[in-house]
Amino acid sequence: MPADMDGKVALVTGSSRGIGKSIALRLAKGGSNVAVTYQRRSAEAAKVVDEIRGMKREAIAVGANITSREEVAEMVRSVEGRFGKIDILVNNAGLMKRHANSLEISDQDWKDILGVNLIGAYNCIWAVAPGMVKRRYGKIVNIASTSGLGNNVGGLLAYATTKAALIMLTKKMAMDLGGYKVNVNAVAPGAVRTEMIHVGRTEEEVQKMIEERSALAALKRISEPEEVANAVAFLSSDQSSFITGQVLMVDGGMAYYLSHSV
Ligand SMILES: NC(=O)c1ccc[n+]([C@@H]2O[C@H](COP(=O)([O-])OP(=O)(O)OC[C@H]3O[C@@H](n4cnc5c(N)ncnc54)[C@H](OP(=O)(O)O)[C@@H]3O)[C@@H](O)[C@H]2O)c1
């Protein structure tokens, strides 16, 4: 595998576990030093840091609630203080809540989901992009979801709406930052084997969902986190130097997207 991110510094939000952890490890494998960030699970983040150090890359763990601008600013200050720069920002941290009835979503749930998935991602761009603009180099990858493009999974009104907004944030930021040599793209995964697919579902319902999603995919299965990480690595490296404002779907070829023109 080419080490095409040699000497780069990446900040991956929500990399204590799940997809974010796979992204942090994959970027390290590509040559990047990594800031592993988390909200609560410091012990799990510390293990990811150890794993990256075992790969002979530098890594630190930083905790911050990305819904708070102050905490994000402090997080970015400590990463830039340690590494001197941030070349790659992956907005991966996300919050999913399921609501059986779309008319009964509490004000607090809306604020929580919007706060992490949309405003949290913006907060991180707000804090990291000025350094990228100054150095005329940056790669920003936002982790959206196929639900943000309109899929048939129920119970996700608030989550899907924030992911759709994150896709528009990606396009608008790509236009605004392109002149400063900063690429901004999104990856839209389908179902991925992490804790998130268990939220609001019994074990039986999880198995049923996996079977249904697999049947709809051309590749007849759901995704592993490493497969999303590979797409993020491509968009974080100079291999994608002329790609910006795009949404790369990592969904195994969902039938309803493949069978309709967009
Ligand atoms: N899994 C899927 O099927 C799927 C499909 C499409 C898109 N996605 C998207 O992919 C991304 C990662 O998903 P995942 O499945 O890996 O999720 P996950 O297992 O639930 O992990 C979520 C991560 O986000 C962090 N986080 C949550 N709220 C935060 C906050 N307020 N501030 C800072 N960090 C916060 C968590 O930190 P702690 O560990 O400290 O709690 C954790 O590292 C999300 O954006 C998700 O929407 C997932």
The candidate with the shortest Cα–Cα distance to 72, out of 29, 129, 34, is 129
Going across the sheet that includes 9-12, the strands are 59-63, 33-38, 9-12, 88-91, 138-143, 182-189, 247-250
Out of 22, 38, 40, give the residue to mutate to test ligand 1, the one with the largest number of ligand atoms within 8 Å of its CB: 38
User: What pLDDT was estimated at residue 262?
Assistant: 55
Find the residues whose C-beta lies inside 6 A of ligand 1. 13-14, 16-20, 38-41, 65-67, 92-96, 116, 120, 143, 145, 189, 191-192, 194-197
| CA distances to 15, 26, 44, 181, 206 from 89, in Å | 12, 14, 20, 14, 31
User: What pLDDT was estimated at residue 260?
Assistant: 73
pTM over the 0.75 mark:
yes
Number of other CB atoms surrounding residue 241 within 10 Å: 10
CA angle centred on 155, ends 152 and 159, rounded to 5°:
90
The answer, yes or no, to whether residue 107 has pLDDT greater than 70, is: yes
Q: How confident is the model at residue 197 (pLDDT cuts 50, 70, 90)?
A: very high
Query: What is the C-alpha end-to-end distance of the chain, expressed in Å?
Result: 34
User: What pLDDT was estimated at residue 132?
Assistant: 98
DSSP state string for 144-201? --GGGG--S-TT-HHHHHHHHHHHHHHHHHHHHHGGGTEEEEEEEE-SBSSGGGGTT-
CA–CA dist 155, 163 (Å, integer): 14
Q: How far is the CA of 15 from the centre of ligand 1 (A)?
A: 8
β-pairing, 33-38 vs 59-63, is parallel
Catalytic residue among 38, 122, 137, 159: 159
User: What pLDDT was estimated at residue 3?
Assistant: 65
CA–CA dist 92, 47 (Å, integer): 18
CB 34 within 8 A of CB 62: no
Out of 13, 16, 19, 65, give the residue to mutate to test ligand 1, the one with the largest number of ligand atoms within 8 Å of its CB: 19
User: What pLDDT was estimated at residue 68?
Assistant: 98
- The half-sphere exposure of 38 on its side-chain side, counting CA atoms within 13 A, is 19
User: What pLDDT was estimated at residue 151?
Assistant: 86
The answer, yes or no, to whether residue 1 has pLDDT greater than 60, is: no
pLDDT tens across 31-56, in order? 999 999 999 999 999 999 999 999 99
Q: Whose CA is nearest to atom 46 of ligand 1?
A: 94
Q: Which of 78-82, 208-212, 238-242, 255-259 has the lowest mean pLDDT?
A: 255-259
Q: Whose CA is nearest to atom 44 of ligand 1?
A: 94
Q: How far is the CA of 179 from the centre of ligand 1 (A)?
A: 31
Name the average pLDDT for the chain: 96
CA–CA dist 59, 28 (Å, integer): 9
Of ligand 1's listed atoms, the one at least distance from the Cα of 18 is 16
Q: How far is the CA of 19 from the centre of ligand 1 (A)?
A: 7
159 is catalytic: yes
The candidate with the shortest Cα–Cα distance to 26, out of 207, 230, 261, 194, is 230
CA–CA dist 82, 226 (Å, integer): 27
Of ligand 1's listed atoms, the one at least distance from the Cα of 195 is 19
pLDDT > 90 fraction of the chain, expressed in percent and rounded: 94
Q: How confident is the model at residue 179 (pLDDT cuts 50, 70, 90)?
A: very high
